Amino acid sequence: MLKLRHVSYAFGSHWVLKNVSFEVEPGEFVFLFGPSGAGKTTLLRVLHGSLSLQRGGAHVAGFDLSRLTKRMVPKLRRAVSVVFQEFKVLPHKTVRENVALPMLVRGIPRAQMERRTNAICRVLRLENRMNLPCRGLSGGEQQRVAIARAVVTNPYLLLSDEPTGNLDDELSTRLLEIFKQFNQFGTTIFLATHNRRLLEQVPQAKVLHLEDGYCE
Ligand SMILES: Nc1ncnc2c1ncn2[C@@H]1O[C@H](COP(=O)(O)OP(=O)(O)OP(=O)(O)O)[C@@H](O)[C@H]1O
Ligand SMILES: [Mg+2]
């Protein structure tokens, strides 16, 4: 599902990722664990094709990132769902519209789209926010909208950047339970966090430690 070999990445002369190598098998639950500034978001952005590979080799969900052309990026983005640290929900669209968007793009029939949107919003306790524009929601609610939008298509691979950053303890626990369920149904989970408590909640998960750009 993921295979990195000696990946390094620099912003100008500042090397943020240093010779990172690891593999993730389909169906694994993996934490990318490391302190603030370690390079977690940068690594996720490389995996998602929003930063181009500078050094090393990487395969993501069957895509060879060293051969990724601009035209292939939308295909990669359909195979790989991502929840960004800063959510990126569309502020003027409603919760319902935000969550349905990836299904609209894929041409999923309307009835099925509505069924799935309602179901995932219920799971994430957004059912009475469905018709409100996202700009009026709290940070934690917007984060849950971003998560609903990312999982609503049953992705093969879910990349998630600090998904519980704005959630209280109860919602964080609940969210990890949801991720575990998706994982049991076959979604590979790759979750970046600096919060050690999350690791304790998924004891069977693999933990990759990222520190100052080095991964082990
Ligand atoms: N666009 C950028 N331009 C220059 N430097 C950057 C850029 N993005 C990140 N960096 C630098 O790269 C390093 C790693 O940042 P990154 O955001 O990947 O860390 P992180 O592990 O996600 O941290 P956090 O837990 O705080 O989200 C930091 O030193 C940061 O200043
Ligand atoms: Mg980050």
Counting atoms of ligand 1 from 1, which one is nearest the CA of 42? 18
CB neighbour burial string for 129-149, b if at least 16 within 10 angstroms, e if fewer: beeebbeebeeebbbbbbbbb
Q: Of all protein residues, whose CA lies closest to atom 26 belonging to ligand 1?
A: 36
Counting atoms of ligand 1 from 1, which one is nearest the CA of 34? 21
Q: Of all protein residues, whose CA lies closest to atom 28 belonging to ligand 1?
A: 37
Question: Global pTM?
Answer: 0.93
pLDDT tens track for 52-80: 999 999 999 999 999 999 899 989 988 89
* Environment of ion ligand 2 (residues, CB < 5 A): 40-41, 85
Measured in Å, residue 132 CA sits from the centre of ligand 1 at: 33
C-beta neighbour count of 174 within 10 angstroms: 17
Strand ordering across the sheet containing 2-11: 14-24, 2-11, 55-60, 63-64
* Any ligand 1 atom below 6 A from CB of 209: no
> What long-range pairs does 120-126 form, CB within 8 A, spacing at least 24?
120/148, 120/151, 120/152, 121/95, 121/96, 121/148, 123/148, 123/178, 124/148, 124/175, 124/178, 125/171, 125/174, 126/95
Asked if 11 and 71 touch (Cβ cutoff 8 Å), the reply is no
| Bridge-based pairing state of the strands 55-60 and 214-215 | unpaired
Q: In a 10 Å sphere around its CB, with 0-12 CB exposed, 13-18 middle and 19+ buried, how is residue 104 labelled?
A: exposed
142, containing H or E segment: helix 139-151
Number of the ligand closest to the Cα of 47: 1
* Any ligand 1 atom below 6 A from CB of 193: no
pLDDT tens track for 24-37: 999 999 999 999 99
* Any ligand 1 atom below 6 A from CB of 146: no
pLDDT tens track for 80-100: 999 988 878 999 999 999 999
* Any ligand 1 atom below 6 A from CB of 174: no
With bands split at pLDDT 50, 70 and 90, how would you rate the model's confidence at 133?
A: very high
* Any ligand 1 atom below 6 A from CB of 11: yes
Write down all domains in the chain, each with its CATH number in brackets. Answer: 2-215 (3.40.50.300)
pLDDT tens track for 170-189: 989 988 999 999 999 999 99
Measured in Å, residue 68 CA sits from the centre of ligand 2 at: 24
Residue 132: the pLDDT is 97
